[in-house]
Amino acid sequence: MRRDMATVGLIGRGAIGGPIIEALAAGSVPGHRLGSVLVRSPAKEYETDRLEALLAARPSLVIEAAGQDALRQHGEAVLRAGIDLLVFSIGALADAELEAVLHGAARGGGRLLLSTGAVGGLDALKALREAGAIDSVRLHSTTTCGALLRPWMDERQQAALRDATAPVPVFEGTAREACRLFPASANVSAAIALASVGLDRVTVQLVGDPQATAKRHRIEAEGADSRITMVVENRISADNPRTSRITPFAALRWLRDQAADIVVGA
């Protein structure tokens, strides 16, 4: 069956958007072509600083790759235009008000799609949830100390991270609270929570390691039918220390699946 080419727009360029834009512009993603890219300072012919111009290119999908503020600013309008929205900044959904707005917009417009980003195994968590009650889900994440530095920290907390010579425990609490306090580093926790027991029941531990060269996520879930333990280690992006290098390729994999005749892991 012949499939028409789908136009893909993006919000954001950066460490996540860049590889996606490059692949689409090169025509290396079957069944998909690049539309417009929304950025603050347009420099290329396909870039714009107006959401209206991005939507005027009539994309069938828009990929958000610009952070939680961009999702808050533009997400509702994209969905209400009847356009599917693939989101990387999943942690923004820890804001119950924003989640309600986006769900409401999705009911009458495009679909809200949540990227797997830098984590795997969400299909197993969703299958365990489908099979029955999940008793517990825990996430232990280790990254660089600098990636966890936040403006709200007092001088003692900041110094502990800046001067660390050994791993430093930084946070333990729910996924919702992790997303609020560490918006650039907690999207993995949100993805795991939304695939399993929700943002208020997933326990998250965040650790800064001065020797870290990769982000390490250990996920443990227990239910009536299965016990799942997964460890994911991803090289850190050279362009953004808060992002794993693999993150944008989750979206490219998803796009390829949409045009494939055989899909593994559907």
Q: Could you read off the pLDDT of 85-122 as tens digits, one per residue?
A: 999 999 999 999 999 999 999 987 899 999 988 898 89
Report the candidate in 184, 183, 165, 178 with the shortest Cα–Cα distance to residue 236.
Answer: 184
For 116-165, where are the E strands, in sequence order? Answer: 134-143
What's the CA gap between 212 and 215, in Å, rounded? 7
The CATH number fitting domain 122-235, selected from 1.20.140.10, 3.30.360.10, 3.40.50.150, 3.40.50.300? 3.30.360.10
Q: Could you read off the pLDDT of 134-161 as tens digits, one per residue?
A: 999 999 999 999 999 999 999 999 999 9
Mean predicted lDDT score pLDDT of the chain = 92
Residue 34 CB neighbours (<10 A) = 21
Location of structure tokens 């800046």? 162
- Name the packing angle between helices 187-195 and 122-131 (round to 10°): 30
Whether 247 contacts 239, CB under 8 Å = no
Q: What is the mean pLDDT of residues 63-67?
A: 94
Enumerate the domain spans of the chain.
Answer: 6-117+247-259, 122-235
Catalytic positions are 217
Known binding residues for NAD(+) are 118, 187
Which CATH architecture group holds 6-117+247-259? 3-Layer(aba) Sandwich (3.40)
Known binding residues are 118, 187
Q: What is the mean pLDDT of residues 167-184?
A: 94
User: Which residues are bridge partners to 221 per DSSP?
Assistant: 137, 228
Q: Which two tokens stand for residue 99?
A: 């989640």
